[in-house]
Amino acid sequence: MRGGRLFARGAADDKGQILTLIAAIRAYLQTSGKLPVNVKLLIEGEEESGGAGIEGYVRDHADRLKADACLVLDSGMFAPGVPAITLGLRGIVGAEIEVSGAARDLHSGIYGGVAPNPFQALAEILTGLKDKNGRILVPGFYDRVAPPPAEEKAGWERLPFEEAAFLRDEIGAPALTGEPGYSPLERMWTRPTLEIHGMPGGFTGAGSKTVIPARAAAKVSMRLVADQRPAEIVDAFAGHVLAIAPKSVRVKVNKSHGAPPVVISPNAPAIAAAKRALTEAFGREAVFVRMGGSVPIVSEFAGRLGLPVVVTGWSLPDANAHSPDESLDLEHFHKGIRAVMRFFEQLAG
């Protein structure tokens, strides 16, 4: 513990949130000897390595996992002291664009001017996928994008969010990017994206080697929002890539499986119970937010098991989640224990 924070080897943030759940259960068992509701605990440690195990478990044990509601402690506070319930998560689907030109790497002096360059082709393809405002140009890409309910969006406008401070403290770039007409929170929570993660191929060492590479690739992923479907989107993406690719190169798109987006109705009794519990435990009204990241298991709980899912947690934006020196605020840790206890009582009541 340092400066009112809990640090632990590995994922202090994730482990700390699980500990609040276990501490809440233990508090009941040590005092009244029983829990206000029946609780089934499902703990996984594979988040950083794909998380395929828990998806298989949920698929194979739907009977054992029957419940009235599901609590997922994997999101966070909106800001210090401001508890939040996450009503939406973006989905994800990935692809690798492989481009090949000449049959072998070529001398750029001898052949430059006639030999296709796979990186040049990729630059043309990538700028044909997205305009300079971040709008994705894949035909049909936005067809199923459902705008957030007006009431939910109105709630976001009341959240304590300052764009200038966000740019300075969380991003650190000269400016934010993204589609005009949408606030930063809307762009992160309700708009799909297309990002480039790496471009393997050619020469990437120190110094120079002036080859025209035979092959190059671009690793991309798209974050999806309700009601986009990963398979449909990645197919449209691949079709568009092939349609706009220069004819001097061969192009192959390797598609990944992906995870669908999730939207949770604020009208479920479990959500109302969670909102009351959080508000009471933290002494400040819990807010409804969304999350730009993807938690594939939430769509398994919501979709496959048909459960109302309460996604919440006590993590802070500066917790360094999944990074070195990950931490959990101790005050939030203690209030989190109380919030879980109140949630059980609200569900029982």
Cβ(217)–Cβ(97) below 8 Å: yes
Q: Does 221 bind a copy of itself (CB under 8 A)?
A: yes
Q: What tokens were used for 264?
A: 């949770």
Q: Which range binds a copy of itself by CB under 8 A, 34-42, 54-62, 126-134, 263-271?
A: 126-134
User: Between 75 and 346, whose beta carbon lies closer to a copy of itself?
Assistant: 75
Nearest to 128 by CA among 218, 223, 202, 201: 218
Q: What tokens were used for 34?
A: 């029983």
User: Between 18 and 123, whose beta carbon lies closer to a copy of itself?
Assistant: 123
Positions in 62-121 near a copy of itself (CB under 8 A)? 90, 92, 94, 96, 100-104, 106-117, 119-120
Nearest approach in angstroms of CB 239 to a copy of itself is 19
Q: Which range binds a copy of itself by CB under 8 A, 9-17, 80-88, 205-213, 262-270?
A: 205-213
User: Between 136 and 277, whose beta carbon lies closer to a copy of itself?
Assistant: 136
Q: Does 230 bind a copy of itself (CB under 8 A)?
A: no
Nearest approach in angstroms of CB 196 to a copy of itself is 4
Q: Does 159 bind a copy of itself (CB under 8 A)?
A: no
Q: Does 164 bind a copy of itself (CB under 8 A)?
A: no
Positions in 171-200 near a copy of itself (CB under 8 A)? 171-179, 184, 187-188, 191, 193, 195-200
Angle between helices 330-348 and 269-282 (to 10 degrees): 140
Q: Which range binds a copy of itself by CB under 8 A, 52-60, 80-88, 290-298, 326-334?
A: 290-298
How is 58-113 classified by DSSP, letter by letter? HHHTTTTT--S-EEEE-SB-SBTTB-EEEEEE-EEEEEEEEEE-SSS-EEHHHHTT
**Which residues lie closer than 8 Å to 36 by C-beta, 6 or more apart?**
28, 344, 345, 347, 348
Cβ(84)–Cβ(286) below 8 Å: yes
Q: Which range binds a copy of itself by CB under 8 A, 5-13, 21-29, 226-234, 248-256?
A: 248-256
Q: How many residues can be counted in the chain?
A: 349
* Residue reference for tokens 């819990």: 286
Q: Does 303 bind a copy of itself (CB under 8 A)?
A: no
Q: Does 218 bind a copy of itself (CB under 8 A)?
A: yes
Q: Does 257 bind a copy of itself (CB under 8 A)?
A: no
Nearest approach in angstroms of CB 63 to a copy of itself is 32
Positions in 20-49 near a copy of itself (CB under 8 A)? none
Q: Does 279 bind a copy of itself (CB under 8 A)?
A: no
Question: Which long-range contacts does 19-23 make (Cβ < 8 Å, 24+ apart)?
Answer: 19/333, 20/73, 20/314, 20/333, 20/336, 20/337, 20/339, 20/340, 21/71, 21/73, 21/340, 23/337
Q: What are phi and psi of 128, to 5 degrees?
A: -85, -5
Q: Residue 180: helix, strand or coil by DSSP?
A: coil
Q: Does 54 bind a copy of itself (CB under 8 A)?
A: no
Nearest approach in angstroms of CB 263 to a copy of itself is 15
Q: Which of 212, 287, 307, 316 binds a copy of itself (CB under 8 A)?
A: 212
CA pair distance 38, 43, nearest whole angstrom:
16
Q: Which of 86, 228, 294, 315 binds a copy of itself (CB under 8 A)?
A: 294
Nearest approach in angstroms of CB 225 to a copy of itself is 10
Cβ(344)–Cβ(24) below 8 Å: yes
